Structure 1
Amino acid sequence: MDDATIARHRLATRLVSAVAEHGEHLPTPLVVVDLDAFDANAADLVRRAGGTPVRVASKSLRVPALVARALATPGFQGVLGYSLREALWLLEHGISDDILVAYPTVDLESLSRLVASPSAAAAITLMVDEVAHLDVVDAVRASKAVQVRVAIDVDAGLRMASQHVGPKRSPLYDAGAVVNLAAEIARREGFQLVGVMTYEGQVAGVPDDVPGQRARSAVVRRLKQASVSQLGSRRAEIARALEPFGPLQLWNAGGSGSIETSSQDPVVTEVSAGSGLLVPGLFDHYQSFRPRPAAFFGVPVTRRPSADVATVHGGGLIASGPVGEDRAPIPWAPPGLRLTGLEGAGEVQTPLTGHPASSLRIGDLVWFRHAKSGELFEHTNTAHLLSGERLVDSVPTYRGSGQSF
């Protein structure tokens, strides 16, 4: 039995012990975050950043207490939010007063609240990548007395001939286009250019050491190396071009899978991470780091259709993105269970095979890992926090706080 399997058996024992202490009366799906693993992952992210501040990506957590816990870790600084309404909520609840919204917004109600509040405008930075984003802000305010902080999102993809490798985000690529937008921001009253974002998702979000995919993994690593090299040169060129607009307060880059390379770029002032704290299934198999899975959901066995099949109630928490097997949840503990090819993970029932299935009883919990990080918490009001072999707290998710961002 290898070390990874032994760790999964130990996890199963811890989870069974923790749930038993509560008389097994907790509702399912039962979502648990292992604080021991969470804290170890946070410390490792800080180590990998090598002194560059780490901004916590709230989209990958969606549990206020976990966002606050990450921010309390030395080396973390500020929140990378995913909507303006979320950023306002985090500010109002005292979780952070330094929030960079990672995506442009056209939420008129939230923008109206922002431009009416000097304190909110001072704490929150909006993301823009074209003039139309500035127009939306101007459309909701009668006065430009409140300065709106903005950062420019620059496409960080790899360009090879006519191909583009990376997330389809910003239309801005070369220094000239970035300078044109910066000049428009400087020309308009009521805006302050404070930073730049270059998110290299093709480096940060793609596993490069996948078992059984040696050739593909080698290609991915070469593409990552080419991307890092090209982006480093382009960041330097853009930074020089922006010098006439004054010193920037931040240059955000990276993600959990690219912290080392992003933090080594002298232009970058901060890196972001979120998935690396919880480690969903899609973040397995990176060559650069070996994190510990920290988030799990448990669902009960409710049927035994045959001696070698156990069927659990629910389990079909499918991740967003391109449809494929890697978007399905992973049966994790006890180890050795597998989804079936015909039914997969279902909304109301999920049959499981594999050697542990024959020993599972009605009412036993099977533990899964979600393929993506924060999406798990859209399916529950409460996250239970595990430390050692005890559930030490139960905290609301965004959903449990009455919020859906």
Structure 2
Amino acid sequence: MSHGVPPLRRPGVQPWNDPAAYWGGITRAVAGIDAPVGVIELNALAHNAYDMLDRADGVPIRVASKSIRVRSVLDAVLALPGYAGVLAFTLAEAIWLSATIDDVVVGYPTADRSAIAALAADPVAASRVTLMVDSVEHLDFIDSVVAPSQRETLRVAIELDASYDSRLLGRLGVWRSPVHTAEQAEQLAGRIVARPGFALVGMMAYESQIAGLQDSPPGAGLRGVIVRDMQRRSFAEIRDRRTAAVLAVRAVADLEFVNGGGTGSLHLTRTDSSVTDIAAGSGLLAGHTFDGFAAFQPAPAASWGLSVVRKPTNDRATVLGGGWIASGPPGPDRLPRVVWPEGLTMAKHEQAGEVQTPLAGEAAFSLGVGDRVWFRHAKSGELSERIEAFHLVDGDTVVDVVPTYRGEGKAFL
């Protein structure tokens, strides 16, 4: 029986700085476990959790569950002072989590009729879950599922578009909310408070072009200079615009929270006085995307191991599987990264394959059938969709095994 992630304490050492010892310890810990085997190294997880608190500097962190998808990790992180609430990615997930977590904001609008009906009929969930809206159409859709007179009052938050229009680079950020100005936010707020069956309790603005974009990509110094300049300008713009929008909406409704930021922008978003909590989660398990950020260096907390199954030549070793590609724009940065043994590279015309991944390099000469190769995913939470459990490792010892959402029989999206 799993006891979950033990209490996270700030580690006094950083074993990942010695790759041979770090990956060697993990290899020994799960030597008898068949591949694919997922691992969370507890010292690395704790380091990342406390590093995020340091960068937030007193502003509460709302944990982005999409970037974890392991309930016991969510529980362990939320037990730390400075973390409060969850940012979920689907309404069905939010309802599920609300059985034990009393503050769950759904980060995206929903058109899930079954989940809306379930929320509307559940007084506890309705008091704990906040829906995201950015248009009157969202209100109309919810009303079409369950009329206001036949449901609990539903908590909603307005999402403000945080994208940035750069003279040099064009529009930057993700295509999300149509609510861009303070005037638009105030108008939507007025429409919400005038509607029966809804309570406007929050706002959100996610500046993805700052929080999720590498500002120090390896081997691309000029790109880093351009990105950092853009981010500086973008943050100044969204800080002023968000402040104006929050003031306008607060004149209409008594907001409980204003959420912003992400793992990559904690140090900036905390300086925006209009923000009451910052959404972050990717930095906890630390997909390799964050290796290209200048403001912090997360530890490689989550990884997975595959077994060598053949040797096509003496200088190559092939592992079974490996093609766990991250979502987003196709490119080399979406591939998993081979991290141990060091120096292994993927075959140019095969890369990470669904059924096999051939690897070359000096270390391949010494690899034999059954040997273990370690990978890191580009993104943090997507690895949890591939495996049913993580082995919790401390040094060279497995201290527990905890299920992912998938291991609990959940596949929300």
Fold match, TM over 0.5? yes
Deviation at 1:6, TM superposition (A): 5.6
Residue pairs, 1:101-250, within 5 angstroms: 101-142=106-147, 143=149, 146-160=152-166, 163-250=170-257
Cα distance in structure 1, aligned partners of 2:17 and 2:261: 32
How many percent identity over aligned positions?
45
C-alpha distance after superposition, 1:81-109 (max 9, x if no partner): 000000111123x2x11100000001010
Corresponding position of 2:7: none
- 1:90 match: 97
Q: Distance in 1 between matches of 2:409 and 2:17?
A: 39
| Superposed CA offset, 1:92-144 (max 9, x none) | 3x2x1110000000101010011111211110000000111111111122425
Q: 2:409 is matched with which residue?
A: 402
Maintained 8 Å contact 2:214/2:292: yes
Mapped partners of 2:21, 2:252: distance in 1: 55
- Given candidates 2, 7, 26, the residue that maps to 1:15 is 26
Instruction: Give yes or no for contact 1:144–1:190 (8 Å, CA) kept in 2.
Output: no
- 1:5-404 correspondence runs (5 A): 7-20=18-31, 24=32, 26-92=33-99, 94=100, 96-142=101-147, 143=149, 146-160=152-166, 163-404=170-411
Cα separation, partners in 2 of 1:5 and 1:378, compared to 1, 3 Å: closer
Q: Give the aligned partner of residue 10 of structure 2.
A: none
Equivalent residues of 1:8, 1:334 under 8 A apart: no
Query: Structure 2: which amino acid aligns with 1:269?
Result: T
Distance 2:307 2:253 in 1: 58
CA contact (8 A) 2:16 2:300 kept: no
Q: Aligned with 2:213: secondary structure? A: coil
User: Which AA in structure 2 matches 1:104?
Assistant: P
Moved more, 119-128 or 158-167: 158-167
What is the Cα deviation at residue 163 of structure 1?
A: 3.1
1:29 offset after TM fit, Å?
A: 1.0
State the secondary structure of the residue aligned to 1:302.
strand
Q: CA 1:119/1:288 → structure 2, altered by over 3 Å: closer, same or farther?
A: same
Distance 1:343 1:272 in 2: 37
After superposition, give the CA deviation of every residue in 1:249-268 in whole Å (9 maximum; x if it has no partner): 10000100000111110000
Read off the aligned partner of 1:122 and give its amino acid letter.
Answer: S
Between 1:117-126 and 1:157-166, the stretch displaced more is: 157-166
- C-alpha distance 224-318 of structure 1, shift in aligned 2 (>3 A): same
CA distance in 2, matches of 1:180, 1:109: 29
Q: Quote the offset at 1:7 in angstroms.
A: 2.5
Aligned counterpart, 2:11: none
Cα 1:6–1:128 change in 2 (3 A) is closer
Query: 1:258 is paired with a residue of what secondary structure?
Result: helix
Deviations 1:185-206 (A, max 9, x none): 0110111111110100000001
Paired with 2:202 and 2:30, the residues of 1 have a C-alpha distance of 46
Per-residue CA deviations over 1:208-248 (Å, capped at 9, x if unaligned) read 11222111000000010001000111012112212321331
For 1:160 and 1:358, locate their aligned partners in 2 and report how far apart those are by CA, in whole Å: 49
What is the CA-CA distance between 1:145 and the residue it aligns to? 5.5
Q: Which amino acid aligns with 1:118?
A: P
> In the alignment, residue 387 of structure 2 is paired with which amino acid?
T
Paired with 1:326 and 1:185, the residues of 2 have a C-alpha distance of 41
1:253–1:272 contact (8 Å) kept in structure 2: yes
The question of whether the paired residues in 1 share the 8 Å contact of 2:16 and 2:299 is answered with no
Two-structure CA RMSD over aligned residues (Å): 1.5
Q: Secondary structure at the match of 1:138?
A: helix
**Distance in 1 of aligned mates of 2:16 and 2:43:** 18
Tell me which moved more, 142-151 or 43-52.
Answer: 142-151
The separation in 2 between residues aligned to 1:111 and 1:243, in whole angstroms, is 26
Aligned residue type for 1:105: T
Distance in 2, matches of 1:4 and 1:216, equals 31
Letter in 2 for 1:281: H
Structure 1 CA distance, aligned partners of 2:22 and 2:351?
24
Letter in 2 for 1:8: P
Provide the rounded CA distance (Å) in 1 between the counterparts of 2:67 and 2:250: 33
> Structure 2 counterpart of 1:129, which letter?
D
Contact 1:11–1:333 (CA under 8 A) maintained in structure 2 = no
